[in-house]
């Protein structure tokens, strides 16, 4: 196993990335428990509107859905 001695406590880059993903997932889980959909499961076929598979909300494009998702997660 290769250790990155420049990082604190000998952590690997993957450890830091995993911690960030776990933090994001726990934030989304807290919002879901409050009844707020983060629109994390989107279906955006070419030429058709974007649909959230969790709550059913529809947008004209995937970009609009991602903008709303970003606002919710901030």
| Same-domain status, 31 and 51 | no
| Same-domain status, 46 and 62 | yes
| Same-domain status, 30 and 42 | no
| Same-domain status, 4 and 15 | yes
For residues 8 and 62, the model is more confident at 62
| Same-domain status, 50 and 19 | no
- pLDDT by residue (tens digit) across 10-45? 667 788 889 999 999 999 999 999 999 999 899 999
Mean pLDDT of 45-57: 92
Confirm whether pTM is higher than 0.75: no
| Same-domain status, 46 and 29 | no
Under 8 Å between Cβ of 43 and 72: no
Number of domains in the chain: 2
The proportion of the chain whose per-residue pLDDT surpasses 90, expressed as a percent, equals: 55
Domain that holds residue 63: 37-74
pLDDT beyond 70 at 1? no
How does DSSP assign 14-62, residue by residue? Answer: HHHHHHHHHHHHHHHHHHHHTT-----SEE--TTS-EEETTT--EESSH
């Amino acid at each position: 196993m290769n250790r990155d001695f420049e990082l604190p406590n000998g952590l690997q880059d993957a450890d830091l990335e995993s911690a960030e993903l776990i933090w994001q997932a726990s934030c989304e889980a807290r919002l879901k428990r409050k009844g707020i959909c983060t629109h994390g499961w989107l279906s955006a076929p070419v030429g058709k509107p974007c649909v959230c598979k969790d709550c059913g909300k529809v947008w004209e494009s995937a970009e609009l859905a991602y903008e709303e998702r970003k606002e919710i997660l901030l």
